[in-house]
Structures are given as C-alpha cells and as structure tokens.
Structure 1
C-alpha cells in the first residue's frame, strides 16, 4: 500500500506545474504595472506643475504643454532606469545560478 501511495504522489508531483513559473508571471505583471505607474505619475506631475504655473501667470497653455512634455520625458527616463535595474538583477541571479551549477551545489 505504501508503494502505491508513493507512486501516486510521484505522478501528482510530475503533473503539477512548477510554482516558480507562477511566481515569475506575477513578478512580470508587477514590473509592468510599476513602469506604467511611473510613466503616468511623470505625466500627472508635469501636467499639475504646468497648470499651476499657467494659472498663476495667466499664460495658458504654454507651461501646461511644456511641463507635460517634461513629465513624459521624466517618466520615460524613470522607466528606462527601472528596466535597467531589473535587467541587472536578473543577470546577477542567472550568474549566481550558473556559478552554483558549476560548483555542483
């Protein structure tokens, strides 16, 4: 009976998808949302600053357009920096994994 239980457990384990894939999918979605939020935040802050300056000086829409474009550029810059950070982290993890595989740990 114990041998049958062991075989059933082994077959169930073989059919289950690895949890790492599910965690990786969640991680990718989290990173994508992070980048979208960074871009929208840059646009929103630039829009708010431009609108505030235009309202104070009565120069609509000069500063609104200027600061919205600057906010967009800042958002893209932060997105690129985040992507570079994520890429460096993934490369470090891959190098660490390869090092462990080479040493047989």
Structure 2
C-alpha cells in the first residue's frame, strides 16, 4: 500500500468541495458594532464602577482616620458624579457615531 496520497484526486476533491460551498464569503460589517444592549450594560458598568471605587476609597479613609460616615458619603457622591460623567461621555460617543452614519460605535473604540 502506498503512503503517498493521489494528489490529483485530492485537488479534484477540494475543488468540488469549494464549488459546493460557494467559495470564500465576503466579510460583512455585522457583529463589528455594539448593540444597544451592550451599550446599556457598558453605561451601567461605568456608573457602578465609579460608585464602587468611591465607596471603597471613602471606607478606606474612614477606617484609617476613624471618622466612619464622613468620607464614605463624600466619596460615594464623588464616585457617582464620576460614573455619570463617564456615562455621558459614552452617550456622546454613541451620538457622534450615529450622526456620522453608523448606527453604533465599532468594537475596540
């Protein structure tokens, strides 16, 4: 038995398979843009992360100085403000992308 496959038969088989599959398909833009749900979750995550960072910094400072509610409340409000500012930046980016003609921003931006 020969270990060397018949190369001509393999090329013919590959050609028939490619013909049935229809050849290489062109890449589409689908899946490259964020959906509305992904943008919404991104904005929620930005708000919560800002608040959690503010809470953790405030709690840490209160624990360090022994003044329990002062820094916790203050930095929680700062974290909320930072989260809202970040959310507004994302909303502005989505709005600009929509005005340019694309529905949603591309992933990786």
- The answer to whether the superposition gives a TM-score over 0.5 is yes
* TM-score of the superposed pair, with normalisation by structure 2: 0.62
Identify which of structures 1 and 2 has the higher relative contact order when contacts are C-alpha pairs closer than 8 Å and 6+ apart. 2
Aligned pairs, how many? 74
Stretches of structure 1 that go unaligned for 5 or more consecutive residues are: 1-21, 95-105
Larger Rg: 1 or 2? 2
Q: Counterparts of 1:59 and 1:92 in 2: how far apart (Å)?
A: 50
* TM-score of the superposed pair, with normalisation by structure 1: 0.64
Q: Which runs of structure 2 are paired with 1:24-103 in the superposition (5 Å)? A: 27-93=35-101
Q: Which runs of structure 2 are paired with 1:4-43 in the superposition (5 Å)? A: 27-43=35-51
What is the CA distance between 1:93 and its match in structure 2? 1.7
RMSD: 2.2
